[in-house]
Structure 1
Amino acid sequence: MSSQSDLSALHTRLHSEGFAFLGAETMDGLLDDPQSLDDWDAFTESWNDLAPDAYLAAKGRKRRRRHATFEITADGAITRNPQQPHVQTLQNNKLQGGIERWFVPIRPKIADGASFRRILQFSHTLFGSLAPRIPQWHVEAHQFRIEASIGEAGEPTPEGVHRDGVDYVLVLLIDRTNIESGVTTIHACNGELLGSFTLTHPLDAALVDDAKVSHGVTAVTPFDPEKSAHRDVLVVTFKAAA
């Protein structure tokens, strides 16, 4: 199947079901072989340079992250904003909603690089086709590393099953080392389980229509307790600009 056919099928599924899981091979085609880009290795290795999430640490939990925001117009022009806080309502995030959370920014050489921009462009093409009347999108990007050890499971979504309070979400797996579990679950408004899958291979992806469904990820633990364990993802959210 061609990447154009894959994109059309993905559009249809998101429109009708509100979510989709894409395996790495399909996602690789949709992103036009991003691993061939000159900066791909630097892009993926940047997950080794994330900062501790001080807000989550205050709750007795831990993860690493960086954050950036952008504006993308209907013609696909991308502008990075000055650093802004990440804000969610208490309704969407009962653990950390209702406060401004300032995170260490994604490094410019990563955010401006070909790999990162290709992911943003793909997301805009897909999500823009689902909402063609939106003239401008507010986009947030989050680099996450969830670490796990024996006696201390990692929590990809410590707030539990939730909505992000946006229009669309892409979760792209970058790396998964010595990790078991981490099952993504998708739920209807009434809590009914609609589907579940596990991002296992780099470039596996979950796509979500945030208005239609909620999502969560189960805790992760290490296969081998003697080795380090982590789950790296890039989360990109699109919301119609005010």
Structure 2
Amino acid sequence: MLDLALQEDHFAFVGAGVMRALLERYRPLEDWQGFADSWNDLAADPYLARVGLHRRRRHAVFAAGAQGPIRRQPHQPHYQSRDYNNLQGGIAREFQPIEDRIAEGATLRTVLEFSRDLFAGLSPQTSQWRIEVHQFRIEARADAAGQPTPEGVHRDGVDYVLVLLIDRHNISSGTTSFHLADGTEIGSFTLTRPLDAALAADRHVYHGVTAVAPLDPDRPAWRDVLVVTFVAAPQA
């Protein structure tokens, strides 16, 4: 059903219970708590800070075939062209790497294997994938809403995207919406529970997330997500 939704609608929402069951077909998420706690040790995003917004993140790159092992690649910058990111495109952005214990842990490895198998089934012609993994914490403050997608409604310039909610603390809103190229909205939902997920065939739809604001302005507020992107790797 999930592959059919991505083929026909080009996006899908998967609730936490279903998502956990799909992932645990591979292995138990035995390190989930440590995985989720690692969002408390993300580095500030210096690029977004220059425009007055608050976000923390870590980043890693992996490579995979249609089957077989998924291998972490040497740490490298994250790059998007201005065609896909009109706010911060055109520059190679250096972020702190995802910690080894997280990159090699059961939860992330399971998410990557599940995603690869799903997306490979949708693109049987793809023999090699480039995978980028981002840990994001969007911080909301009394004087500044948090912006999960500061570039607005956009595409990422990849083939497929998985967004997995890790935590949301003391925030309102954060609604994900999907759009056609002409701006027509074709669906929306809010990730509210850990393991709620949004998936998209990025070449076909645009997406955005509304700003988040603190429910209690005197307490810290954040939205933690894991974003995983897959794009067909160039053939050697």
Paired residue secondary structure (1:118)? helix
Give the TM-score of the pair, scaled to structure 1.
Answer: 0.94
Report the AA paired with residue 86 of structure 1. Answer: H
| Distance across 1 between alignment mates of 2:118 and 2:181 | 23
Matched, 1:178 2:170: yes
Query: C-alpha separation between the residues in 2 aligned to 1:200 and 1:37?
Result: 19
Per-residue deviation, 1:76 = 3.2
1:79 counterpart = 2:64: no
Distance (whole Å) between structure 2 residues aligned to residue 74 and residue 33 of structure 1: 18
Q: Is the 8 A contact 1:76 1:124 kept in 2?
A: no
> Match for residue 4 of structure 1?
none
1:28–1:34 CA contact under 8 A, matched in 2:
no
| Equivalent pair of 2:54/2:140 in contact (CA under 8 Å) | no
| Bigger shift: residues 100-109 or 33-42 | 33-42
1:141 is aligned to 133
Aligned to 1:235: 227
Aligned-residue Cα RMSD (Å) equals 1.3
Give identity over the alignment, percent: 59
Mapping 1:1-242, distance limit 5 Å: 9-32=1-24, 36-242=28-234
- The alignment's TM-score, normalised by the length of structure 2, stands at 0.97
- Unaligned 5+ residue runs, structure 2? none
- 1:63 Cα offset (Å): 0.2
Q: Which amino acid aligns with 1:146?
A: I
**In structure 2, the residue corresponding to 1:225 is in which secondary structure?**
coil
Contact 1:76/1:121 (8 A) holds in 2: no
In 2, Cα distance between equivalents of 1:225 and 1:128: 44
SS in structure 2 at match of 1:216:
strand
Deviation at 1:37, TM superposition (A): 3.1
In the TM superposition, residue 34 of structure 1 has moved relative to its aligned partner by: 8.7
1:189 CA drift (Å): 1.2
Distance of aligned partners of 1:180 and 1:70 in 2 relative to their CA distance in 1, 3 Å threshold:
same
The 8 Å contact of residues 146 and 231 in structure 1, kept in 2 or not, is answered as yes
Relative distance call for 1:128 and 1:211 in structure 2 (3 A) is same
More divergent stretch after superposition (70-79 vs 213-222): 70-79
One-letter amino acid matched to 1:178: N
Query: CA, structure 1 residues 78+35, in 2 after alignment: closer, same or farther (shift >3 Å)?
Result: closer
SS in 2 for 1:28: helix
How far residue 104 of structure 1 moved from its aligned partner, in angstroms, is: 0.3
CA distance, structure 1, for counterparts of residue 159 and residue 194 of structure 2: 25
Say which SS state the counterpart of residue 75 (structure 2) adopts.
coil
Residues 34 and 133 (structure 1), Cα distance of their counterparts in 2 relative to 1, 3 Å cut: closer
**Structure 1 gap ranges (5+):** 1-8
